[in-house]
Structure 1
Amino acid sequence: MKLTKIHAREILDSRGNPTVEVTLNGTTARGISPSGASTGEKEAVELRDGDPERYNGKGVEKAVKGINVEVGKSVTGLSFEGQQAFDDHIIGLDGTENKSRLGANAMLAASIAFARASAVAKGIPLYRQLVEREGYVMPVPCMNVINGGRHSDNNIDFQEFMIAPHNAPSFKESIRMGEAVFHSLRSLLKAKGYYTGVGDEGGFAPNLSSNEEAVQIIMEAIHIAGFAPGKDISLCLDPATSEMWNNGKYEFYKSSKERITTDEMIGFWEGWLKEYPIILLEDGLGENDWEGWKKLTSLLGDKVELVGDDIFCTNPSIIQQGIDQGIANSVLIKLNQIGTVSETLKAVELAQKNGYNCFISHRSGETEDTTIADLVVATGAGHIKTGSGCRSERVSKFNQLLRIEEELGDRASFAGINTFYKKL
């Protein structure tokens, strides 16, 4: 594809913070970069202006200028054979290990825009542009119904409590089931006198008596909605324990202030897995607790999908280290952690080749960009998290998946429980 024009602009994400949007060749093919609140230390780096007079220092005019001036001069008039060639070109222009000079936020927006423009040029959907398959798998939506941690101002330490409506014939029915529980949960929280406002990712953010009450009240909402926990709808957790890691121990920093060891944290999860129908545990330990991760995987790796997020950062070289050391059995996939579409696809390929699951994910600072919906279908990853059952930047991904499922017709199958490492 020959590039005739590339243009970046500063727009806003779901938290009202600036981010980068890029369009190519004067078309409506655009890419927008999201932003995370709890981030891994080894993530590709966003470029922010640092000017306290504009958006509290979070402006992205430098990143925008880098695309419009430097990248623009470099790529305009050139033809690229494919996504890899374009991404390699801008990676070379940046010239840093962590994409800090041009900014991963700018580079990802450009990379997504190229993928979309390529699909437009060919007259095919984005998921086909990313990976061409005979048939595609629609994902289980893992919906974040209670927010805690860095994603809310409540007293819950763990960041995400999710439901996975897996016992369904289609994605369309799975979403209906998830929304039924979401609305039952709202009514239940209200009846108990709890706050029903939502956090960064659209899940409810009440103050509760304990972290465990979040699980218990979700279980009750599943029953009220007419479903069987564990059979129809199971639980997934992302406690984001890197945020709890403090001088070699895990601190319940929003509730009890209790500090526990790695072995005690592993024992904590083992107890919850026995008590509740939890089929996925993301970041059960912190990103720097590699020895702990080995123990966790050895003890629980045949009982639950253990997803590495902060520890892997969607980085193929780090993922390989985890594979070599027997850490986790699944990888969280976030486009902006690595910074380009082609590197993201490499991370997925590496994980799947080595028998690891891939869990496609949004960020807490999201946009209307729906690329991850096409990505989860393209890669056959089988499950996605993009927030709760409300907020347009979250449900836009669900709506795109509904469109894709309708378009595919009998070429689409629904992942269901076979998505998860643990087979119920």
Structure 2
Amino acid sequence: MTQIQDIRAREILDNRLEPTLRVTVETAAGCATADVPAGRSRGEHEAVEVRDRDDRYSGLGVRRAVATVEEQIAPQLRGRSVFEQRLLDELLVEMDGTETKSTLGGNTITGVSLACLKAGATAASQPLYRYIGGATTSTLPIPFFDMIEGGELSGSALPFQEHQVVPIGAESVSEAVRLAAEVYYELGDLVAAEYGEASLNVGDEGGYNPIGLTDPRDAFDLELRAIEQLGYQNAFALAADVAASQFYDPDTDRYAMMGTTMTRDDLLEFYEDLVDSYPIISLEDPLHENDFEGFAELTDRLDTQIIGDDLFVTNPDRIHNGIARGAGNALLLKVNQIGTVTEACDAAQLAARNGYSIQVSERSGQTADTWLADLAVGLDAGQIKTGVTRSERTEQYNRLFEIEANLGQAGTYGAGSSKNQPFGSAGETL
């Protein structure tokens, strides 16, 4: 019942109308499919995607990846048990033979690994989150909502990529999503009134794009006003995905932001002022992706969560380096950054053992596949980042609603993150 009978793949479209990969693994217990996400804001140390680079879809097609799955990978994995996830993933890594997964493709490997995982859950007659986390899995993650977008995700002039609201004062996922939705509606009214109806256009993850807004502090002010007008001050804190590599110039070692340039020290002082002025509980990628020293200094200076995304790229080797140097205190986990489920879970366990919090994250290119929600619960992560609106985002929330209902009284909202106290004293509501 658990042996792989066949592995198939096809080219599908993500939310940006760009091709991605859907992989199907067949056993006697049934078929399981997994869709592969794709990032727009990508770190230089991530696993490499294989794209066709021809005339179709401006070179973004994945027919090569489909052929790799069916002609190279499937013959090697047929007959093996889907319960042997680590062995299957090790075989994929061995077949590829490169650190960046450039032979088979990170997207190809991710699709096969995830489809095998889902096939294992099907064969075990378990929901995916239970198959990942075991019988005691009970943590429902705190969602980080990207209400106003900038950087690579939008057409606005804001340097920070995401300006987030975080419902840490909610008592359940369903309440957290409801409160955030109401803030989103209220924020839309403020944005339209002050920046025009065109500013209600959204970025890749559903956040607003206020025209003419260039200062992250103005974005946070808008979010605070929406929260306060609803009387939800006791429910929310703020956070940001800075994605600083996007406005860093390695030639000058300077950050270009708000019409000026900043040194690392200038930027660290800016963050200190920002956290002093706003109830910010988390900063993601506040410095460029190779600045372990700067991350360590900021982690020491601020009593808040400092997340490594491009810094760590879900890679155990880079996480080891960060731990040794005291760089950051939280990991952004993206399976397709490293390639396989096993490597991603190893990264999460390494981070958690060393007191780092885990935030499971989507990519800007998503489909309606909801394995991300199950992964966040199964890993006991306690935090999830999956955008705001658009169906590929809201389907993750709908899946969390289902899991919450299945867990019933056993479910605990945000318990995974609170164990490590990731937010420090800043983890207070407004």
* 1:221 paired to 2:221: no
CA positional deviation for 1:297: 1.6
Q: Within 2, Cα distance between the matches of 1:79 and 1:344?
A: 20
Identity %, equivalent residues: 39
SS of 1:25's partner is: strand
Residues 260 and 345 of structure 1: is their aligned pair in 2 closer, same or farther, counting only changes over 3 Å?
Answer: same
Greater mean deviation of Cα atoms: 265-274 or 55-64:
55-64
* Structure 2 counterpart of 1:151: 153
| Counterpart residue number, 1:87 | 89
Alignment partners' CA distance in 1, 2:31 and 2:77: 19
**2:205 equivalent in structure 1:** 201
Contact 2:237 2:281 in 1 (8 A): yes
Match for 1:203: what amino acid? G
Q: CA deviation at 1:80?
A: 4.9
Aligned to 1:123, what secondary structure does the other structure show? coil
Residue 343 of structure 1 aligns with which residue?
343
- For 1:170 and 1:359, locate their aligned partners in 2 and report how far apart those are by CA, in whole Å: 17
- Give the match for residue 414 of structure 1: 413
AA matched with 2:33: R
Q: Which residues in structure 2 correspond to 1:275-290 (within 5 Å)?
A: 275-290=277-292
Q: Please state whether the residue corresponding to 1:106 is helix, strand or coil.
A: helix
Structure 2 CA distance for partners of 1:184 and 1:110, relative to 1, 3 Å? same
Q: Could you tell me which residue of structure 2 aligns to residue 25 of structure 1? A: 26
* 3-state SS in 2 of match to 1:22: strand
Deviates more, 1:240-249 or 1:398-407: 240-249
Could you say what secondary structure the match of 2:17 adopts? coil
Q: Secondary structure at the match of 1:358?
A: strand
Partner residue, 1:9 = 10
Asked whether the 8 Å contact 1:143–1:162 carries over to 2, the reply is yes
Q: Given that residues 356 and 422 in structure 2 are in contact (C-alpha distance below 8 angstroms), is that contact kept between their aligned partners in structure 1?
A: no
24, 27, 35: which is aligned to 2:38? Answer: 35
Q: Which residue of 1 aligns with 2:236?
A: 233
Contact 1:83 1:115 survives alignment (8 Å):
yes
Deviation of 1:83 after TM superposition, in Å, equals 1.0
Instruction: Give the corresponding residue for 1:310.
Output: 310
| Deviation by residue 1:50-73 (Cα, 9 ceiling, x = unmatched) | 11x111111111111000111111
Equivalent residue number for residue 398 of structure 1: 397
CA deviation string 1:127-160 (max 9, x = no partner): 1111204241111110101010000111111100
Maintained 8 Å contact 1:248/1:261:
no
Aligned residues: 416
**Alpha-carbon shift at residue 213 of structure 1 (Å):** 0.8
For 1:368 and 1:29, the matched residues in 2 are separated by 15
TM-score (norm 1): 0.95
> Which piece of structure 1 moves more, 18-27 or 308-317?
18-27
Match of 2:21, as an amino acid? Answer: V
Quote the residue 1:181 is aligned against: 183
The partner residue of 2:52 within 27, 30, 49 is: 49
Kept in 2: contact 1:249–1:259 (CA 8 A): no
How many angstroms apart in 1 are the aligned matches of 2:174 and 2:81? Answer: 40
Taking the aligned partners of 1:248 and 1:329, their CA distance within structure 2 comes to: 28
Q: Matches of 1:209 and 1:40 in 2, distance apart? A: 24
Q: Which amino acid aligns with 1:219?
A: L
Say if 1:245 and 1:120 are closer, same or farther in 2 by CA, change over 3 A. same
* Bigger mean CA offset, 271-280 vs 10-19: 10-19
Report the Cα offset of residue 14 of structure 1. Answer: 1.1
Q: Secondary structure at the match of 1:266?
A: helix
Q: Amino acid of the residue matched to residue 217 of structure 1?
A: L
Q: Which moves more between the two structures, 277-286 or 367-376?
A: 367-376
* SS at 1:332 equivalent: strand
AA aligned opposite 1:355: G
Residues 248-259 of structure 1 correspond to what in structure 2 (within 5 A)?
248-252=252-256, 255-256=258-259, 258-259=260-261
Q: Does the 8 Å CA contact 2:118/2:128 hold for their aligned counterparts?
A: yes
1:112 alignment partner in structure 2: 114
TM-score relative to the length of structure 2: 0.94
CA distance in 1, matches of 2:376, 2:361: 9
Q: Which runs of 5+ in 2 are unaligned?
A: none
Q: CA RMSD in A?
A: 1.4
Paired AA for residue 9 in structure 1:
R
For 1:31-59, what per-residue CA distance to the aligned partner results, in whole angstroms no more than 9, with x for missing partners?
A: 111111111111011101111x1111111
SS at match of 1:161: strand
Match of residue 297 from structure 2: 295
